[in-house]
Amino acid sequence: MTQPERNDIERAADVLRAGGLVAFPTETVYGLGADASSPAALRKLYTVKGRPADHPVIVHIGRVEQLDDIAAEVPAVARELAAAFWPGPLTLVVQRRAGVVADAATGGRDTVGVRVPDHPVARALLDAFGGPVAAPSANRFGRVSPTTAEHVRVDLGADVDVILDGGASDVGVESTIVDVTGATPVVLRVGGVPEERLREITHAVLARQTSGEVAAPGTLAVHYAPNARVELVTNAERDTRAEELRRTGHRVAILDAPADPHEYARVLYARLRAADAPETDVILAVAPADDAGIGAAVRDRLLRAARG
């Protein structure tokens, strides 16, 4: 892997200015970036992604101060969370200021999800571009998120103008999304920042609403789905279940759980992709041993994969 050079970054920023699409690495997963202020660029983004128009995307900024350009109002708890976790795998949903981020990026909502990613290539790109960049994960709608440039190439290929290669994503699961527009911060999606760590910062009660009507749109059902059927098992159940499935004519791939939950998060999507071969009927995924910390996000994504 060769890191992009300064020239590659400048060229990618020019592509964004011209309304094009740039896939770039972040510490969570690869993003598919477009100028967040340009309705035309966003139209292209939604078309390539195959995403419904009412489904909002996360807006990425290079510096924490830019939050004030985008948000109509930044509550104290948002400032505390931003100070603690940015740059990093946390998205804050705030009230949107009119006229900066285009309506198309938020599906017409009066709120916007914002994050400062922690990856040198992402930060260099955001810095060179200057403005906010709308970026969903760089996979087709409903599929497993990409954690390498190669995953992006396989999924989106020639539909992307530039793919910046920054190596494999270090965190491996998407950002934690926290809605700070109400009296109580609400976790809309578990992710890279564990809830335990959020609680150390917000002494306010932290609600979790990661499914149902008010969860982050798009975190429901068909997301994160491989083609093969996914079944979640414990380590103890694994062999018996594999045997049972094979006996009844199923072709089985096993996804073992690395002991370290961070390692599990890091390799999760690449392993799911590898296991999802045409000759696989069922992926038996061993759930993380412990749901503490980032283990909760790993389990969440496996459950969604199993449902899809």
Number of residues that bind Mg ion (CB under 5 A): 1
188: helix, strand or coil: strand
93 φ, ψ (degrees, to nearest 5):
-95, 120
CB of 31 to ligand TXA, least distance (A): 3
2 φ, ψ (degrees, to nearest 5):
-110, 130
Going residue by residue from 215 to 244, which x/- string records binding to ligand TXA, judged by CB under 6 A? -xxxx-------------------------
259 φ, ψ (degrees, to nearest 5):
-65, -35
Give me the torsion for CA of 199, 175, 47, 111, rounded to 10°.
Answer: 30
- Contacts of ligand TXA in 234-293 (CB under 6 A): none
CB of 308 to Mg ion, least distance (A): 12
Number of residues that bind ligand TXA (CB under 6 A): 30
162-163/133-134 β-pairing: unpaired
Residue of 207, 281, 206 whose CA lies nearest to 251: 281
CB of 29 to ligand TXA, least distance (A): 5
C-alpha–C-alpha distance, residues 128 and 118, integer Å = 15
Is there a contact between 74 and 94 (Cβ–Cβ < 8 Å)?
A: yes
The reply on whether position 111 binds ligand TXA by CB under 6 A is: yes
Residue nearest to Mg ion (CB): 137
Residues 6+ apart with CB under 8 A from 35: 16, 17, 19, 41, 42, 129, 131, 133, 134
> Which residue lies nearer to ligand TXA by CB, 135 or 298?
135
CB of 41 to ligand TXA, least distance (A): 15
What is the secondary structure of 70-134 as a DSSP string? HEEE--HHHHHHHHHH-SSSEEEEEEEPTTTS-GGGGTT-SEEEEE----HHHHHHHHHH-S-EE
> Which residue lies nearer to ligand TXA by CB, 286 or 301?
301
Which span (54-62, 64-72, 79-87, 289-297) binds ligand TXA, by CB under 6 A?
A: 54-62
The reply on whether position 137 binds Mg ion by CB under 5 A is: yes
The reply on whether position 106 binds Mg ion by CB under 5 A is: no
In one letter, which amino acid is 86?
W
> Which residue lies nearer to ligand TXA by CB, 4 or 218?
218
* Member of 57, 133, 285, 298 binding ligand TXA (CB under 6 A): 57
| Rg from Cα positions in the chain | 19
* Member of 25, 88, 113, 194 binding ligand TXA (CB under 6 A): 113
* Member of 42, 82, 162, 177 binding ligand TXA (CB under 6 A): 177
* Member of 43, 97, 109, 250 binding ligand TXA (CB under 6 A): 109
189: helix, strand or coil: strand
> Which residue lies nearer to Mg ion by CB, 37 or 91?
91
Q: What H or E segment, with its residue span, contains residue 164?
A: none
212: helix, strand or coil: coil
Is there a contact between 53 and 107 (Cβ–Cβ < 8 Å)?
A: yes
Which span (37-45, 56-64, 159-167, 277-285) binds ligand TXA, by CB under 6 A?
A: 56-64
Please give the residue ranges that form the binding site for Mg ion (CB under 5 A): 137
Please give the residue ranges that form the binding site for ligand TXA (CB under 6 A): 26, 28-29, 31, 55-58, 89, 91, 93, 106, 109, 111-113, 115, 117, 135-137, 174-175, 177, 188-189, 216-219
